[in-house]
Amino acid sequence: MGFKVVENYRVCGRDYLLTVEADRETVERIRAGQFGMVQVRSNLQFDPLLRRPLGIFNVEGNRVSFLYRVYGRGTELLTKTEPSEEVEVLMPLGNSIPEDREKYLFIAGGIGIGGLFLAARWFKEAGKEVVVLYGERSSDNLSGLPFLEKYGIETVVYTEDGSYGKKGLVTKELPEFKDYTWVACGPTPMLKAVKEIAEEEKAECFLSLDRRMACGVGACLGCTVKTTEGYKRCCVEGPIFKAEEVIF
Ligand code: FES
């Protein structure tokens, strides 16, 4: 479905915020933790249309935002999309984060905040206890921070170089939160570490996984995740998995 672009700007570092004006019916179907397949248009003749899976970062009225980091050609092209253009977005896709717990700890590594922010915001607004642990290499890349501050979400920032918040990895104080339900999104080494610590601490833990996706709807089998129950499709059975079922 084509949606009008409202804004597409650089927040900081290599991170951009794309906002589209969606229809009411689409917005009402969105659950925390879901994603959209955003089509990137290229001006090059014969260049295939590219789609990128991006976590639904925020919803305000009918406006739906995606926070994304420029990694390669697809996301680089996406930065060229201008307000008032239309982009094709298939959404909402995937499963969602269980909503019935009382205390949530969101563990975001880098641009992983893009897949967790909306859950943190909505669950806080629903009266649940919410803490976000947000780790980055340095202060230059903390694109999620202005949004966490805007919505008053309790956040602890960790930077590897100590340029903002606490110095060190986002995983270093996890055991202090063992009576929370953990939801983590970020690079694989971080997710692996979170899973191990959750097992040691016997904390309930979910991982939001990121895979290359071609279709986003379960048809191409290009996004498989190895689990204790065999291979699953990240786009349909995920992106949210119980940590104990994921095999790294
Ligand atoms: S992206 Fe095609 S099956 Fe998941």
Pocket test for ligand 1, best of 91, 93, 95, 233 (most atoms within 8 A of CB): 233
pLDDT value of position 146: 98
The verdict on 142 and 109 lying in the same domain is yes
- CB of 174 sitting under 6 A from ligand 1: no
Between the CA of 222 and the centroid of ligand 1 the distance, in Å, is 5
What pTM was computed for the model?
0.96
pLDDT (mean) for 182-195: 98
| Mean of all residue pLDDT scores within the chain | 95
Domain of residue 165: give its range. 103-208
On whether residue 65 sits in a domain, the answer given is yes
In this model, does residue 127 exceed pLDDT 80?
Answer: yes
pLDDT: which is higher, 50 or 35: 35
The verdict on 204 and 116 lying in the same domain is yes
> Residue 26 in contact with residue 92, Cβ under 8 Å?
yes
pLDDT (mean) for 150-175: 97
pLDDT (tens digit, 9 = 90+) per residue, 66-96?
Answer: 999 999 888 999 999 999 899 999 999 999 9
CATH number at residue 134: 3.40.50.80
User: Taking phi first (over 0 means left), then psi (-120 to 50 degrees means alpha), and beta for anything else, what does residue 46 get?
Assistant: left
pLDDT value of position 179: 97
On whether residue 225 sits in a domain, the answer given is no
The verdict on 119 and 87 lying in the same domain is no
Alpha helices in the chain (DSSP H): 24-29, 73-78, 117-125, 145-150, 188-201
Q: How far is CA 167 from the centre of its chain?
A: 23
CATH number at residue 28: 2.40.30.10
Total of domains in the chain: 2
CA dist., res. 215 & res. 34, Å (int): 15
On whether residue 12 sits in a domain, the answer given is yes
The CA dihedral of 71, 74, 186, 111, to the nearest 10 degrees, is 70
- Which residue, of 68, 93, 118, is where some domain finishes? 93
Q: Is 105 exposed, middle or buried (0-12, 13-18, 19+ CB in 10 A)?
A: buried
Between the CA of 179 and the centroid of ligand 1 the distance, in Å, is 34
